[in-house]
């Protein structure tokens, strides 16, 4: 499969992650038995898609770091903002690994506490914070990835 297809798959999976996040978060607003089922589905989809995003992104990252003059890494380092690679891209290399861990934590909370989520608002607040942490971390990685793609598409 070509690098462009890997990047397309990576982006599609990110869209799936964003949709499952928003659906999961909405289910926390007024919980009932049917919303708990959808919440379980949503956080499970978040976890699965975040792992798939991480794996496809790790593979696509090979093309970013390729030691050739036309690679995004080479262009960023040779451009007017080499600090972007030195600081921000080093952050991106590792930040993608946190999102699947956060998503797995959300799954553990939902499946571990199960029906108690319906009656304990504090528990739903904790889950909401976990979901938002995963989303914000994803947006950080997304922004850095968009900068790479803008600099030199793979």
pTM of the model: 0.84
The token pair that represents 79 in the structure block: 């451009």
Question: In this structure, what token pair is assigned to residue 138?
Answer: 């994803």
pLDDT in tens, 112-139: 999 999 999 999 999 999 999 999 998 8
> What value does the mean pLDDT take over residues 141-148?
78
Confidence tier at 153 by pLDDT (50, 70, 90): low
Q: Which burial class, exposed, middle or buried, applies to 127 when counting CB atoms under 10 A from its CB (0-12, 13-18, 19+)?
A: buried
Domain boundaries, the chain: 3-151
* Residue 92 predicted with pLDDT over 80: no
pLDDT of residue 43: 97
pLDDT digits (tens, 9 = 90+) for 2-58: 777 888 898 899 899 999 999 999 999 889 999 999 999 999 999 999 999 999 888
- The residue behind tokens 């950080």 is 140
């Amino acid at each position: 499969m070509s690098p462009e297809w890997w990047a397309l798959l990576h982006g599609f999976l990110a869209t799936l992650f964003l949709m499952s996040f928003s659906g999961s978060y909405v289910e926390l607003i007024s919980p009932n038995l049917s919303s708990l089922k959808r919440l379980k589905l949503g956080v499970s989809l978040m976890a699965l898609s975040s792992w798939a995003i991480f794996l496809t992104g790790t593979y696509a990252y090979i093309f970013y770091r390729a030691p050739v003059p036309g690679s995004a890494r080479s262009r960023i380092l040779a451009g007017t903002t080499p600090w972007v690679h030195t600081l921000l891209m080093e952050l991106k290399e590792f930040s993608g690994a946190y999102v699947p861990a956060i998503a797995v934590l959300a799954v553990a909370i939902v499946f571990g506490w199960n029906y108690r989520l319906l009656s304990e608002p504090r528990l739903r607040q904790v889950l909401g914070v976990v979901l938002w942490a995963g989303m914000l971390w994803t947006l950080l990685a997304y922004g850095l990835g968009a900068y790479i793609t803008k600099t030199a598409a793979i």
